[in-house]
């Protein structure tokens, strides 16, 4: 129960939300936003489980310098995600609606074509890509990087309080399930404003995407400074 609760809490840490918000901002489909959170949680759990097995079976320890380097990698990743989100926003794009008919019911959903892809809208309908639930491995990889960076505190807990390897592995999995559930919930909530503003308020949607990019960039720069100079990673 404690592991599951800590997993839920772990999902709402600012660096996690900053990373996921930049990816979710490209999605106008609620289910797609939820799946992004789930993929992040799966990647996060994979990294934690691998690190946990190394600690449990081989007594591998993550020293402070390595932990800081991993955290600094997260900061660089947040900076990159923020810059990428702002780059897409600056390039502009065209809001386009896909209209489908399934089971006698007609529905439409929006998405944004990047500027370089806008010309493809002139192509025949069958040549266009359906973007409804199309996902990339990016949220999985982002989750794995976060999992590695956050493994130091978890490993300390395992080494100090859990004697049984089976219970230690089970703890990591339960913690991972909690983080997956928490991030699915958070990415869904983050995706709601993007979904509704795209449909009704294009300017508000543009501002939200910009805010997500700036938040990720700003928090990444703050983390990089804190780890590199305040915590002493770059002290020689």
H or E element that contains 98: strand 93-102
Residue 104: which residues within 8 A CB-CB, separation 6 or more?
none
Can you give the pLDDT at residue 11? 80
Angle of helix 64-91 relative to helix 14-24, nearest 10 degrees, comes to: 30
- Supply the mean pLDDT for the chain: 77
In tens, the pLDDT along 145-188 reads: 888 886 656 666 666 677 788 888 888 889 889 989 999 999 98
Three-state DSSP class for residue 100: strand
Q: What's the average model confidence in pLDDT over 77-85? A: 93
Distances (CA, A) of 142 to 146, 166, 188, 214: 6, 28, 17, 18
Q: What six digits make up the tokens of 72?
A: 């600094």
* Number of Cβ atoms within 10 Å of the Cβ of 140: 18
Phi first, then psi, for residue 188 (nearest 5°) are -65, -45
H or E element that contains 2: helix 2-10
Three-state DSSP class for residue 111: strand
Q: What's the average model confidence in pLDDT over 9-36? A: 83
Residue 30: which residues within 8 A CB-CB, separation 6 or more?
188, 191, 192, 195
Measured CA to CA, the distance from residue 117 to residue 95 in angstroms comes to 11
Can you give the pLDDT at residue 23? 83
Q: Is residue 131 over pLDDT 80?
A: no
- How much of the chain, in percent, has pLDDT values that exceed 70? 72
Is residue 161 within 8 A of residue 2, CB to CB? The reply is: no
Measured CA to CA, the distance from residue 175 to residue 182 in angstroms comes to 11
Q: What six digits make up the tokens of 109?
A: 């959903």
Phi first, then psi, for residue 112 (nearest 5°) are -110, 125
Q: Considering only CA atoms, which of 38, 70, 86, 33 is closest in space to residue 155?
A: 70
- Which segment, 11-15, 95-99, 223-227, is predicted with the most confidence on average? 223-227
């Amino acid at each position: 129960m404690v592991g599951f609760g800590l997993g839920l809490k772990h999902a709402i840490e600012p660096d996690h939300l900053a990373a996921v918000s930049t990816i979710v901002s490209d999605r106008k489909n609620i289910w797609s936003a939820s799946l992004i959170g789930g993929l992040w949680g799966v990647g996060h759990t994979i990294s934690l489980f691998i690190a946990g097995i190394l600690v449990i079976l081989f007594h591998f320890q993550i020293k402070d310098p390595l932990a800081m380097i991993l955290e600094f990698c997260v900061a660089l990743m947040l900076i990159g995600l923020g810059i990428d989100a702002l780059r897409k926003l600056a390039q502009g794009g065209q809001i386009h609606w896909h209209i489908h008919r399934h089971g006698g019911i007609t529905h439409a959903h929006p998405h944004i074509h990047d500027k370089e892809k806008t010309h493809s809208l002139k192509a025949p309908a069958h040549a266009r890509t359906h973007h409804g639930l199309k996902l990339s491995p990016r949220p999985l990889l982002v989750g794995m990087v976060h999992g590695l960076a956050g493994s130091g505190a978890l490993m300390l807990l395992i080494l100090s309080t859990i004697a049984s390897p089976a219970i230690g592995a089970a703890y990591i999995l339960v913690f991972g399930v909690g983080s997956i559930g928490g991030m699915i919930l958070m990415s869904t909530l983050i995706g709601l404003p993007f979904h509704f503003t795209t449909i009704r308020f294009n300017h508000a949607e543009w501002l939200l995407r910009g805010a997500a990019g700036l938040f990720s960039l700003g928090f990444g720069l703050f983390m990089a400074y804190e780890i590199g100079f305040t915590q002493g990673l770059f002290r020689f």
